[in-house]
Amino acid sequence: MARRFPVYAKEINGIEKVELEVFQTNTAAIAFYGKAGFRREGVRIRARRIDAVFDDLLLMGRKI
């Protein structure tokens, strides 16, 4: 789906770029999105706090 959706979005809606956010601890998702053509574009430092642990948010994008 991660590979087909961007193509569909461009054909139907004229969308030229798809963006997503994923927590840096979610390494499986980051690897999956990377294989689907998404590239790292930035990081939100300490975007989430659970108990006393902070997690950074990775920003990724893919031009269609």
Q: Residue 3: what pLDDT?
A: 65
SS3 16: coil
Q: Residue 46: what pLDDT?
A: 96
Residue appearing with tokens 């706090």 = 49
Q: What is the pTM for the complete model shown?
A: 0.78
Amino acid at 31: A
Residue 58 has pLDDT above 90, yes or no: yes
The CATH code of domain 4-63 reads 3.40.630.30
Please report, for the chain, the start and end positions of each structural domain, with discontinuous segments joined by +.
4-63
CA distance 36 to 43: 19
Q: Residue 2: what pLDDT?
A: 61
Amino acid at 14: G
pLDDT tens digits for range 4-57: 766 677 777 778 888 999 999 999 999 999 999 999 999 999 999 999 999 999
CB 63 within 8 A of CB 19: no
Q: Residue 1: what pLDDT?
A: 60
